[in-house]
Structure 1
Amino acid sequence: MKLTPLHSLHSQRAAKMTEFQGWMLPAQFGDPADEHHAVRAAAGLFDVSFLGKIELAGRGAEASLQQFFTRNLATLTEGAAKYGLLCNKSGFILDNVLAFKLPPTQPGKRFLITTNAISTDKVLELFRKHAGKDTHVAGLSGALAQFALQGPRADAVLEAVAGTHFKKIKQKQARTLTLAGASVIVSRTGLTGERGYELFLSADQAAALWNAFLDAGKGFGLLPCGMTCRDMLRLEAGYVMYGNDIDETRSPVEAGLMSIVDLNVDFLGRDAIVKRKTEGAKETIVGYELLDKGLPKPGATIFSESREIGIATSSAHSPHRRRDIGLGYVSVRYAQPGQEIEIEVKDQEIAAKIVSLPFYKRK
């Protein structure tokens, strides 16, 4: 079982731990509902060091990444990021990733890619196998820690730790700041649906900066947050999770991810995606809201009047909606908001309905 650089700190805080994609991570530090409220109303701090981090650098770095990445890297400016997919030749999803274009440290270009934990080894092997000789591929997952600072007061907390006012960082932009003596890449990204940041720094400086954030954030309502809270937030915001909602059996067409596919660039799987889009998918991803209590497990059957129409892929309680919610795939004809359905929960069929995504949108 892998541990993050902050594992001992989490243990000292008596965090309840859980296994996630091969990592031992804090499920909760207190009541997940309180952690959720902190992120929606103030700020929350997450240890997301389990996410994979891979660097591509050199004269061939852009071409090496572009051959699999569904976004146009030619329009990605230095210091910016794009959310996209890595696909195989059949147009199915190998991973959903963030690609940052960073200042180069050698001739050529430099990219930092963040992957899902379950996909890190696969993606690293992919680039090591297919990158050109003029591309240096480095796995940085062990060397770098990663935090997520999320919530409407994230700016105030970040400035308190920095000890100075700084020019605001725009959405999907990154900048290097000095925080508590550490050099930190700070990006305006996240999957909670709130304003927030992700921070990348040397693993050996992680504990000191984590404590600095907790100390500085006390006056702003900041709480450390665990995986249970993170899953509530990402589901409310309508974000998919690799391994649950998308995998190598899904294409961006039925997964509702065509907004992060640039069909004007050439990447592996592009032609297959165009063909699938033209033909039309037989099923599509949807959000659902349960009308009675119950959390479907991944793979639970979705019914309409006793007819099997799809499967559930993710579920969690939504404090915002005050109901249990989730994502799943259903036949296209049943995908309209308001469609009444039933979902298998512990050998019972629980009443639910299809709803529009996202479940939550920041005002």
Structure 2
Amino acid sequence: MENLKRTPLFDEHVRLGAKMVPFGGWEMPVWYTSLKDEHHTVRNNVGIFDVSHMGEPKAEEMLQEISGVDLKEIPYYNFTEGRINGIPCLISRTGYTGEDGFEIYFDREAAVPMWRKLMELLPKYDGKPAGLGARDTLRLEATYLLYGNDMTDDITPLEAGLKWAVDMEKDFIGKEILLKEKETGIRRRLKGIEMLERGIPRHGYKIFVGDEEVGFITSGTVSPTLDKPVALAMLNKPYYKKDTEIEVEIRGKRVKAKVIKTPFYRGSVKTRK
């Protein structure tokens, strides 16, 4: 893994036996035990991710033990300044898993002592460190989009279901395109699908209805929580309607699937406002 950057926690990951992989120019842990084990731990108890991200249902209770801030007073999508383990931090009630949790920001020199203190607390809450693999399956179950897969330069915010994030009352580059798209109708949309037959949908796989190619998979996996294959797919009109049956081409074979409502899983996050 030449020329890859390392976070201040690299040695901690190696000490815990993590499988390290290249990720965006960095050498990062994809898992410590297994993707499935870490996924279920985060869903049911608490997990810690590098980049100072931690969640989930027991995150508030655990973090409160070493916090100088009343974490209950931080609404979702809000942040405050305070101290965690005596270290000055920016504490944000946000995350990428669908569970209630926190992202904490501090000087890199404090990364190792912060990590070690949190690792000391994990066993009390049946928690574990979690890697990139679990982070991806967790975010997909919650229908949190990944740039480069579900959002690209070729996908508009309206197609991706991100209308709520665009202020059409002010000027910005690309506004005319979105106004035209609203006027003429959105020709394709990002939707959730589940497989009806055996097969795992992966990024880039083509989708058909009969002989017509009607879309493609943007992100797909076997959901550890639901124990079935699910995916996000960009589907042409009118095939993005709920319960529409489609076929995903997997290694040259058409496999049946259908459009379903998202999120695939609704976690402990109480609001997105």
For the criterion TM > 0.5, the same-fold answer is yes
Kept in 1: contact 2:47–2:130 (CA 8 A): yes
Following superposition, the deviation at residue 24 of structure 1 comes to: 1.9
Letter in 2 for 1:322: D
Q: Matched residues, percent identical?
A: 34
Following superposition, the deviation at residue 248 of structure 1 comes to: 0.8
Following superposition, the deviation at residue 167 of structure 1 comes to: 4.8
1:189 equivalent in structure 2: 94
2:162 equivalent in structure 1: 257
Q: How does 1:89-108 map to 2 (within 5 A)?
A: none
2:32 equivalent in structure 1: 29
Question: Structure 2, unaligned stretches of length 5 or more?
Answer: 269-273
Letter in 1 for 2:265: Y
Following superposition, the deviation at residue 351 of structure 1 comes to: 1.7
2:5 equivalent in structure 1: 2
- Which secondary structure state, in structure 1, belongs to the residue aligned with residue 247 of structure 2? strand
**One of 20, 25, 47 as aligned partner of 1:17:** 20
Q: How does 1:116-131 map to 2 (within 5 A)?
A: none
Kept in 2: contact 1:161–1:216 (CA 8 A): no
Following superposition, the deviation at residue 154 of structure 1 comes to: 0.6
- Between Structure 1 and Structure 2, the one with more strand by share is 1
Letter in 1 for 2:28: L
Q: 1:292 to 1:18 in 2, by over 3 A?
A: farther
Q: In structure 1, what is the Cα distance between the partners aligned to 2:23 and 2:139?
A: 15
Structure 1 residue 232 and structure 2 residue 114: aligned? no
Q: In structure 2, what is the Cα distance between the partners aligned to 1:336 and 1:281?
A: 13
- Which secondary structure state, in structure 2, belongs to the residue aligned with residue 208 of structure 1? helix
1:134 equivalent in structure 2: none
Following superposition, the deviation at residue 22 of structure 1 comes to: 2.3
Query: Post-superposition, which runs of at least 4 consecutive aligned residues in structure 1 deviate over 4 A?
Result: 163-167
Following superposition, the deviation at residue 260 of structure 1 comes to: 0.9
Following superposition, the deviation at residue 288 of structure 1 comes to: 1.0
2:267 equivalent in structure 1: 362
Q: 1:358 to 1:16 in 2, by over 3 A?
A: same
- Please tell me the root mean square deviation across aligned C-alpha atoms, in Å: 1.6
Question: Structure 1, unaligned stretches of length 5 or more?
Answer: 50-146
- The count of corresponding residues between Structure 1 and Structure 2 is 265
Q: In structure 1, what is the Cα distance between the partners aligned to 2:82 and 2:123?
A: 21
Structure 1 residue 242 and structure 2 residue 131: aligned? no
TM-score (normalizing by structure 2): 0.92
Q: In structure 2, what is the Cα distance between the partners aligned to 1:168 and 1:316?
A: 36
Q: In structure 2, what is the Cα distance between the partners aligned to 1:252 and 1:338?
A: 23
Q: In structure 1, what is the Cα distance between the partners aligned to 2:128 and 2:68?
A: 20
Letter in 2 for 1:3: R
Q: In structure 2, what is the Cα distance between the partners aligned to 1:166 and 1:354?
A: 38
Following superposition, the deviation at residue 159 of structure 1 comes to: 0.9
2:213 equivalent in structure 1: 308
1:40 equivalent in structure 2: 43
Structure 1 residue 153 and structure 2 residue 68: aligned? no
Letter in 2 for 1:172: Y
